[in-house]
């Protein structure tokens, strides 16, 4: 099977096309125009938000999507204590949330003077995730990000819950703390977020999941809809997760590692991508890092929760991880041997031993999580 000679993405990866020189469309920047358009729009909206006076007719300047991860904790502190924004910190209580993320949320509640609100809808988000995981094998070739469909769907579900809350309370902005690379893959227009969800899940299921409320977002006037703000757009050239974590720890706002704040579905996300697309969940992220290093030998930044050291044999890690994930899904092999392999692989990706063992345990529990959600592993 052919692979890109720059970033090593396989030709069967969703949305990837190799040219005659064995270089993929991502390395050739075939999406450059779309990316520039998205960056320009998100930059303009964030600048507008920064300059906006206190919102009238509501108690809040923005609804801030707060997950308990490093990025949202870092930016929530800035919004409240540096920018002086009146913030409603919105947390969707995902039933698969990491216990470490929950502890970080508790710390923020103690130390950051914002109003916090907890939203939940266990039955419907589980219904949606069952529908995604239990679908028939997707048609090939796939579209860009198809290997991440379960994650993108889950994220979009609670983004839409946040949009509806902001819409009802007339809060003009929603802050979403995607990192600079995630911003490239996320829709920033509220109406398009709604349209995309209808396209993915159909009218019947969408109306069931949201009690028919989303339709009003498609037809109301633009001035009545909240705008999505990506705060890290302003830090796209100097985003540094290690520095962010260090600053948060100094303030007593963060007591875990980024790897440990992954949701408990992380193993199932890897199962989905390996089963359907023969790649690990973070393959695009890893390929981006490889691409950056090849273009700049001095490149020394990591922008993801999992790191990809220069010495890492990515093909070996991906191959071994795929074997373990599919074996666990099939209930094959030794649990002890699987744990040993997983700990080794995550430590090679710069995780501490405690973090590696924590994540390894979540992989070993994958079948139990799948059974609880009604997800079929085959």
Summarize pLDDT for 6-51 with one digit per residue, the tens: 988 999 999 999 999 999 998 988 765 666 677 788 889 999 999 9
Give yes or no for residue 75 having a pLDDT over 90.
Answer: yes
Tokens encoding 316: 């070996």
Average pLDDT rounded to a whole number, residues 365-375: 95
pLDDT (0 to 100) of residue 88: 98
pLDDT (0 to 100) of residue 102: 85
Give yes or no for residue 330 having a pLDDT over 60.
Answer: yes
pLDDT (0 to 100) of residue 317: 92
Give yes or no for residue 256 having a pLDDT over 80.
Answer: no
Q: Would you say the C-alpha torsion 192, 196, 199, 203 has a positive or negative sign?
A: negative
pLDDT (0 to 100) of residue 260: 64
Residue carrying structure tokens 């914002």: 114
Return the closest-CA partner of residue 365 out of 257, 258, 278, 266.
266
Q: What pTM was estimated for this model as a whole?
A: 0.90
Q: Report CA-CA distances (Å) from 361 to 27, 95, 340, 353.
A: 35, 18, 10, 12
Tokens encoding 246: 């260090």
Question: Each residue of 126-136: pLDDT tens digit?
Answer: 999 999 999 99
pLDDT (0 to 100) of residue 290: 81
Cβ-contact 276, 138 below 8 angstroms: yes
Average pLDDT rounded to a whole number, residues 262-267: 87
Cβ-contact 327, 320 below 8 angstroms: no
pLDDT (0 to 100) of residue 378: 77
Return the closest-CA partner of residue 145 out of 237, 291, 31.
31
Give yes or no for residue 299 having a pLDDT over 70.
Answer: no
pLDDT (0 to 100) of residue 241: 85
Average pLDDT rounded to a whole number, residues 110-129: 96
> How sure is the predictor about 300, in pLDDT bands with cuts at 50, 70 and 90?
low
Q: Report CA-CA distances (Å) from 339 to 35, 131, 263, 345, 369.
A: 40, 29, 19, 10, 17
Give yes or no for residue 98 having a pLDDT over 80.
Answer: no
Return the closest-CA partner of residue 362 out of 262, 256, 272.
262
């Amino acid at each position: 099977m052919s692979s890109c000679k720059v970033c090593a993405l396989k030709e069967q990866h969703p949305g990837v096309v190799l040219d005659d020189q064995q270089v993929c469309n991502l390395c050739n920047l075939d999406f450059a125009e779309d990316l520039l358009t998205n960056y320009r729009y998100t930059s303009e909206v964030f600048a507008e938000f920064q300059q906006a006076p206190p919102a009238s007719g509501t108690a809040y300047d923005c609804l801030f999507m707060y997950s308990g991860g490093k990025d949202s904790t870092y930016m929530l502190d800035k919004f409240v204590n540096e920018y002086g924004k009146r913030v409603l910190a919105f947390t969707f209580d995902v039933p698969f949330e990491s216990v470490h993320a929950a502890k970080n949320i508790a710390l923020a509640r103690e130390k950051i003077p914002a109003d916090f609100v907890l939203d939940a809808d266990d039955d419907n988000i589980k219904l949606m995730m069952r529908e995604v995981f239990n679908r028939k094998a997707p048609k090939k070739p796939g579209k860009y990000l198809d290997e991440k469909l379960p994650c993108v769907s889950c994220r979009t579900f609670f983004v839409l819950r946040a949009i509806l809350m902001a819409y009802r309370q007339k809060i003009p902005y929603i802050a979403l703390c995607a990192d600079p690379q995630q911003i490239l893959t996320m829709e920033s227009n509220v109406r398009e977020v709604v349209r995309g969800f209808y396209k993915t899940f159909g009218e019947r299921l969408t109306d069931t999941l949201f009690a028919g409320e989303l339709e009003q977002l498609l037809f109301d006037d633009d001035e009545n809809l909240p705008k999505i703000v990506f705060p890290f757009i302003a830090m796209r050239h100097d985003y540094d997760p290690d520095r962010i974590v260090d600053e948060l720890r100094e303030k007593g706002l963060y007591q875990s590692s980024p790897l440990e704040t992954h949701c408990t579905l992380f193993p199932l996300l890897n199962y989905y991508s390996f089963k359907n697309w023969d790649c690990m969940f973070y393959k695009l992220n890893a390929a981006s890092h490889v691409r950056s290093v090849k273009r700049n030998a001095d490149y020394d930044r990591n922008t993801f929760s999992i790191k990809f050291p220069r010495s890492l044999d990515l093909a070996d890690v991906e191959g071994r991880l795929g074997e373990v994930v599919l074996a666990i899904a099939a209930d094959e092999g030794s649990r002890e041997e699987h744990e040993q392999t997983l700990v080794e692989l995550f430590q090679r990706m710069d995780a501490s031993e405690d973090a590696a063992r924590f994540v390894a345990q979540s992989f070993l529990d994958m079948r139990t999580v799948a059974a609880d959600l009604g997800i079929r592993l085959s």
